[in-house]
């Protein structure tokens, strides 16, 4: 029997999380919803975000039969995870706790750097999750990175890629200066935004030697695998040995995509995030 994992984001950056999940769970069905009509969540109040996220989660569970839900959106994970868990009767996994857990496993010094959007940094969700694991974290808002990714300036060997490389160099320089000023000795960098995996080649090249880079998308897939392996859930979607490469999945049957607006942009940009064609995106109306 095939099970459905629901993946929710305010936009389509969460497709990088879906990509990591597909690699890990090639036998699962996936339903992805981007609440594109109401993005960005980052500038909205906690109550509004909780209402939007709960509606989106209910769509994936009630209409699409999701038995497990991944919140592939840092803002919703930071501000609305409880509200989503209250709204649906299935297990819900956010991106922040897995990212912090992966940082805990990776760091020896206990000092961690976090790059994220302005809204995520203002929530201090990563700092809080890190502190709960005995880590000290320095967070930095990097508001140019999402537009650089959406502009497609992500090829390191071009003159547009050179701009992206320089922006990342400046952000990391400022982040390291902040860490030094507070007496930290960081050895781990958390990519705290679902767009950032597309910048990983730049970031890996720009970080100081010895810094481990944690991709939240990979961390979420790892955390989901752990949950399923521990068999604590009614939805044991286990990977089979030898599976997990993109050739083995039929995207027409295994993947369904939904958006509340901007289907055109989703279809156009989504394939870069997912690393395979997105195909048809279905427009849905979740109401106000």
Query: In the Cβ-directed half-sphere of 78, how many Cα atoms lie within 13 Å?
Result: 27
Asked if 36 touches a copy of itself (CB under 8 A), the answer is yes
SS3 assignment for 190-210? EEECCCHHHHHHHHHHHCCCC
The yes or no reply on residue 39 touching a copy of itself (CB under 8 A) is: yes
Backbone angles phi, psi at 4, to 5 degrees: -110, 130
Q: Interface with a copy of itself includes 167 (CB under 8 A)?
A: yes
Binding mask 45-84 for a copy of itself (x = CB under 8 A): x---------------------------------------
What is the separation of C-alpha 240 from the centre of its chain, rounded to a whole number of angstroms? 24
Does residue 210 belong to the site contacting a copy of itself (CB under 8 A)?
no
Among 222, 243, 261, 267, binds a copy of itself (CB under 8 A): 261
Is 267 near a copy of itself (CB under 8 A)?
A: no
Q: Write each residue from 111 to 150 as x if it is in contact with a copy of itself (CB under 8 A), else as -, in one continuous string.
A: --------------------------------xx--xx-x
Distance in Å, CB of 163 to a copy of itself, minimum: 5
Q: Which is nearer to a copy of itself, 101 or 262 (CB)?
A: 262
Distances (CA, A) of 184 to 108, 117, 138: 12, 22, 9
Query: Is residue 142 among the annotated active site residues?
Result: no
**Can you tell me which of 86, 108, 131, 170 binds a copy of itself, judged by CB under 8 A?**
170
Question: Strands across the sheet with 92-94, in order?
Answer: 92-94, 68-71, 4-9, 29-34, 255-259, 281-283
- Provide, rounded to whole angstroms, the least separation between the CB of residue 194 and a copy of itself: 17
Closer residue to a copy of itself in complex, CB, 130/259: 259
Measured CA to CA, the distance from residue 212 to residue 77 in angstroms comes to 23
Q: Which residue lies nearer to a copy of itself by CB, 4 or 36?
A: 36
What's the CA gap between 69 and 121, in Å, rounded?
24
Q: Is 225 in the site for a copy of itself (CB under 8 A)?
A: no
Site for a copy of itself contains 157 (CB under 8 A): no
Contact 72, 220 (CB under 8 A): yes
Dihedral angle over CA of 90, 94, 100, 105, nearest 10: 50
The answer to the question of residue 183 lying near a copy of itself (CB under 8 A) is: no
Q: In degrees, to the nearest 5, what angle opens at C-alpha 224 toward C-alphas 128 and 232?
A: 105
Give the nearer residue to a copy of itself in terms of CB position, either 51 or 276: 51
Nearest distance in Å: CB 143, a copy of itself: 5
CB atoms within 10 A of CB 255: 21
Helix, strand or coil, per DSSP, at residue 214: strand
**Which residues contact a copy of itself by CB under 8 A?**
36-37, 39-40, 43-45, 143-144, 147-148, 150-151, 159-160, 162-163, 166-167, 170, 261-262, 288
Q: Mind telling me the catalytic residues? A: 73, 193
């Amino acid at each position: 029997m095939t099970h459905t994992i629901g993946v929710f984001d305010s936009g389509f950056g969460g497709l990088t999380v879906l990509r990591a999940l597909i690699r890990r769970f090639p036998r699962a069905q996936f339903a992805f919803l981007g609440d594109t009509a109401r993005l960005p969540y980052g500038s909205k109040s906690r109550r509004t975000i909780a209402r939007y996220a709960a509606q989106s989660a209910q769509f994936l569970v009630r209409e699409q039969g999701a038995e497990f839900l991944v919140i592939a959106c840092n803002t919703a994970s930071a501000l609305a995870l409880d509200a989503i868990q209250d709204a649906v009767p299935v297990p819900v996994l956010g991106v922040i706790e897995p990212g912090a857990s992966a940082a805990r496993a990776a760091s020896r010094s206990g000092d961690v750097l976090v790059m994220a959007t302005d809204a995520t940094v203002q929530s201090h969700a990563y700092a809080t999750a890190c502190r709960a694991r005995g880590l000290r974290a320095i967070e930095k808002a990097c508001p140019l990175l999402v537009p650089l990714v959406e502009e497609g300036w992500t090829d390191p060997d071009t003159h547009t890629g050179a701009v992206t490389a320089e922006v990342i160099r400046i952000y990391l320089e400022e982040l390291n200066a902040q860490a030094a000023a507070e007496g930290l000795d960081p050895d781990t960098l958390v990519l705290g935004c679902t767009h950032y995996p597309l910048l990983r080649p730049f970031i890996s090249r720009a970080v100081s030697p010895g810094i481990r880079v944690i991709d939240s998308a990979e961390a979420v897939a790892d955390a989901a695998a752990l949950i399923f392996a521990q068999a604590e859930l009614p939805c044991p979607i286990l990977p089979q040995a030898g599976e997990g490469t993109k050739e083995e999945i039929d995207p027409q049957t295994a993947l369904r995509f939904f958006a509340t607006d901007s289907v055109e942009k989703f279809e156009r940009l989504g394939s870069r995030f997912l690393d395979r064609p997105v195909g048809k995106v279905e427009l849905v109306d979740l109401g106000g």
